[in-house]
């Protein structure tokens, strides 16, 4: 299960890809795409190193894709090179699939990467089996945001601009270690002038062309055809945008997972829960056996890492214990009621398609 690292040539420049393991016949590969200011390591390493992720890695191959010039140690892109738009970046992916001989993928994207994967799935529905999109913003940037875009012209403010794109105000003020770590990643592992170009491209994106299908309405409306899980932390700067995206997608195929007490990067903040969600998602698509899932469930329940396993009633209690008594029952109870709770048990049944099909909003 070696690492296969390659620069894949596409119409819009070379894309750095890292493949872990060998693709298995009749199984999709998980294709990841990172957010602005990050590369595949800083975006996904915490998640893929999580102990519970090992089972997924035994069953499925991962292909990490990095936007042009965003990989570790990247040289400054030539001045003659025009940085691709978001839509063009999504069109680099068919070349990646072709290069590695992949028929279909399960997309796992964060922020800009989530947008790129959604766009790819809209244009190439036959190549995408499912999408797990973290922090997707389906809207184009407003006037206020383009002001932030101008600020990135001065490189010394770039790390700040990226940090406020990735993290919520709470985290920036209170979680100094996390912010310092990411500021360090952005300033030391990334090529600043390339990051500015990727950021500018993201800030110039068009609104994602999706429309919610209505019963008896136009059957040809443009929407994501695959099962889609939207994930966002409740303290994320894009929480409203993700909720908005959910309202625009097909309710029978989309689930919104809003994570309680979670910041801008759920896969870094709460990798156990994201791994869990990914497992149920993949199992629902029929690629992980339920036998291995039962083992997982007993272990998780005992560690209470997903408090709503025991149903929403006990949430207030387990969460409080789990959080080291930082919250009062009252706030937990209030939070419990503000979302429709779907206990993970109901999702883990074999009829996962059915239980997810009601446009659900899951709260852990």
Q: Which residues contact 210 (CB under 8 A, 6 or more apart)?
A: 118, 122, 138, 222, 223, 224, 245, 248, 249
pLDDT of residue 120: 97
Band the pLDDT of 278: cuts 50, 70, 90. Answer: very high
Span 297-307, average pLDDT: 38
pLDDT of residue 3: 77
Q: Among the CATH numbers 3.40.50.1820, 3.40.50.10330, 1.10.10.10, 3.20.20.450, which is that of 3-285?
A: 3.40.50.1820
Span 84-94, average pLDDT: 97
Span 201-206, average pLDDT: 93
In the predicted structure, residue 359 carries a pLDDT above the cut 50 = no
pLDDT of residue 221: 77
> In the chain, pLDDT over 90 holds for what percent of residues?
62
Helices (H), the chain: 40-48, 54-59, 86-90, 93-100, 112-123, 143-151, 158-166, 169-174, 176-188, 192-203, 239-248, 266-269, 271-284, 290-303, 315-322, 329-338, 344-348, 352-357
Span 122-144, average pLDDT: 90
- On average, the pLDDT of the chain sits at 80
Task: Flag the least confident range among 8-12, 107-111, 139-143, 264-268.
Answer: 139-143
pLDDT of residue 4: 87
For the chain, counts of helices (H) and of strands (E): 18, 9
Strand 3-10 vs strand 13-20: parallel, antiparallel, or unpaired? antiparallel
In the predicted structure, residue 343 carries a pLDDT above the cut 50 = no
Burial of 162 (0-12, 13-18, 19+ CB in 10 A): buried
pLDDT of residue 78: 95
Domain extents in the chain: 3-285
Band the pLDDT of 82: cuts 50, 70, 90. Answer: very high
Neighbours of 179 (CB within 10 A): 18
Cβ(95)–Cβ(63) below 8 Å: no
Reduced to 3 states (helix: H, G, I; strand: E, B; else coil), residue 197 is: helix
In the predicted structure, residue 48 carries a pLDDT above the cut 70 = yes
pLDDT of residue 145: 58
Helices (H), 53-111: 54-59, 86-90, 93-100
pLDDT of residue 150: 58
Span 13-40, average pLDDT: 93
Band the pLDDT of 151: cuts 50, 70, 90. Answer: low
**Chain segment 261-273, per-residue pLDDT in tens:** 999 999 999 999 9
**Chain segment 221-260, per-residue pLDDT in tens:** 788 989 999 999 999 999 999 999 999 999 889 999 999 9
Band the pLDDT of 326: cuts 50, 70, 90. Answer: very low
In the predicted structure, residue 345 carries a pLDDT above the cut 60 = no
In the predicted structure, residue 340 carries a pLDDT above the cut 50 = no
pLDDT of residue 205: 94
Residue with more model confidence, 308 or 164: 164
pLDDT of residue 153: 53
Residue with more model confidence, 91 or 356: 91
């Amino acid at each position: 299960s070696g690492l296969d690292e390659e620069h894949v040539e596409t119409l819009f420049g070379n894309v750095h890809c890292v493949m872990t393991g060998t693709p298995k016949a009749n199984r999709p590969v998980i294709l990841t795409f990172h957010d602005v200011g990050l590369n595949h390591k800083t975006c996904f390493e915490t998640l893929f190193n999580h102990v519970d992720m090992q089972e997924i890695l035994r069953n499925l191959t991962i292909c990490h894709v990095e936007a042009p010039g965003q990989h570790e140690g990247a040289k400054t892109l030539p001045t003659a090179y025009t940085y691709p738009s978001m839509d063009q970046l999504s069109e680099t992916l068919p070349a990646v699939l072709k290069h590695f001989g992949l028929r279909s993928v399960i997309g796992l994207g964060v922020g800009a990467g989530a947008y790129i994967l959604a766009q790819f799935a809209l244009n190439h529905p036959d190549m995408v089996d499912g999408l797990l999109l973290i922090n997707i913003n389906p809207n184009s940037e407003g006037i206020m945001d383009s002001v932030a875009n101008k600020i990135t012209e001065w490189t010394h403010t770039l790390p700040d601009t990226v940090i406020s794109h990735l993290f919520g105000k709470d985290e920036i003020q209170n979680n100094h270690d996390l912010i310092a770590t990411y500021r360090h990643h952005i300033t030391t592992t990334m090529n600043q002038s390339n990051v500015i170009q990727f950021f500018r491209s993201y800030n110039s994106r068009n609104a994602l062309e999706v429309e919610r299908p209505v019963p008896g309405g136009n059957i040809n409306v443009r929407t994501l055809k695959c099962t889609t899980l939207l994930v966002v932390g409740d303290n994320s700067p894009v929480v409203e945008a993700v909720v908005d995206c959910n309202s625009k997608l097909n309710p029978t195929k989309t689930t919104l997972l809003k994570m309680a007490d979670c910041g801008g990067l759920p896969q870094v903040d709460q990798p156990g829960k994201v791994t869990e969600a990914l497992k149920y998602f993949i199992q629902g698509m029929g690629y992980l056996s339920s036998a291995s899932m039962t083992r997982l469930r007993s272990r998780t329940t005992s560690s209470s890492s997903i408090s709503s396993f025991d149903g929403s009633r006990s949430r207030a209690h387990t969460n409080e214990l789990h959080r080291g008594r930082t919250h009062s029952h009252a706030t937990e109870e209030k939070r419990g009621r503000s979302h429709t709770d779907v206990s993970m048990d109901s999702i883990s049944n074999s009829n996962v398609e059915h239980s997810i099909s009601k446009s659900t909003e899951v709260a852990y």
